Amino acid sequence: MALRHGTEFRREAVRLALTSGLTRKQIATDLGIGFSTLSKWVQQDRDKELMAGPHEDQEKEITRLRKENRILREEREILKKATVFFVSQK
């Protein structure tokens, strides 16, 4: 499978997804990529940033840990909602 988009394109797509205020679906359409592709890139970027490990600067480390904590809380809430949804489908 060949890479169709370079690193810079991916980086810019992720930046737009995180900061533009537009939906990921709209950004993916505008850029001519699939929604799942953009979501995968954002997740990979998030994982890479979170796994960067401890930072020398304590303030940066606290900021990183707070961000990781916020993301984990959001993911937990999504899983709770998904559980309720799937239970109600029975």
Residues 47 and 62 occupy one common structural domain: no
Residues 45 and 1 occupy one common structural domain: yes
Beta-sheet strands, E only, within the chain: none
**Residue with token string 């709209």:** 26
Give per-residue burial for 31-67: e unless 16+ CB within 10 Å, then b.
Answer: bebeeeebeebbeebeeeeeeeeeeeeeeeeeebeee
- Which DSSP state fits 79? H
Domain residue limits at 78: 57-90
Q: Which of the pair, 84 or 52, is modelled with greater confidence? A: 84
* pLDDT confidence tier of residue 7, bands split at 50, 70 and 90: confident
Residues 36 and 62 occupy one common structural domain: no
Q: What residues contact 49, with CB distance under 8 A and at least 6 apart?
A: 64
What is the tens place of the pLDDT at every residue in 50-63? 666 665 678 888 88
Residues 23 and 47 occupy one common structural domain: yes
Query: What is the reported pTM?
Result: 0.51
> Which pLDDT belongs to residue 1?
39
